[in-house]
Amino acid sequence: MNFVTKKKISTNIIFDIGGVLFQSMYKDQNSKYYVPLERGIEMLKKCHIQQDEQGNKLHNLYVLSNWKSPNFHALTQGHAAIFDLFDGIVISGNLEFAKPDRRIYEHFLKHYQLEAQTCVFIDDLFENVEAANYVGMRGIHCLDFDVVEQKLSALNVL
C-alpha cells in the first residue's frame, strides 16, 4: 500500500510591499516609482528556499499591502520574478478597506483559509503590525532588516 503524506507548511509569511520589499523613489512631485530593496528581497528569497528534510517547501509566502490595483499591476509586471515567489496576494485596492483596518487581515485569513497563529506578518508601519497582532498573527515591525531576520530566526522561520 502506498501512503501519501501531506506536506506540512511550517509558517505562512506575509510581506508588506512598500518599505519592506520595495522603496518609493520620486521622479518629481507628481510621480514616483518603486525599486526593490535589496535586503528585503534577500530576506524573501531566504524564506522561499526553506525546505524540510524531504525537500518540500517549508513556508507559504504572501503579500498583504495597501495598493491601488493599476499601480500594483504595473509593479508586478515590472518585477514578475519577485512576485512569482508568492503563493497569494491581497491588496487593498480590490477591497473596501485597507490596513490597519482589522477587516483586511480577517479577509486575508478567510480567503486563504489560514489560522492567524500560523502567520508572521512583516510591515514597516507599527500600526499595521499592531493590527496584525490584534487578529492573532505574529507581527514584526520592519525598521532594520537585521532585527527582522533575528526575529524570524527566533520563530524558527530562518
Contact 3, 44 (CB under 8 A): no
Beta strands in 1-149 (DSSP E): 11-15, 22-28, 31-36, 59-65, 88-91, 119-123, 138-141
Average pLDDT over the chain, rounded to whole? 90
pTM of the model: 0.90
Q: Where are the domains of the chain?
A: 11-154
Secondary structure percentages of the chain, helix, strand, coil, to 5: 40, 25, 35
Mean pLDDT for the stretch of residues 87-91: 97
pLDDT, one tens digit per residue, over 25-59 is 877 666 678 899 999 999 999 999 988 888 888 89
pLDDT, one tens digit per residue, over 54-86 is 888 889 999 999 998 888 998 999 999 999 999
Q: What is the dihedral of CA 152, 123, 107, 24, to 10 degrees?
A: -140
Superfamily of domain 11-154: HAD superfamily/HAD-like (3.40.50.1000)
The yes-or-no verdict on residue 3 having pLDDT over 70 is no
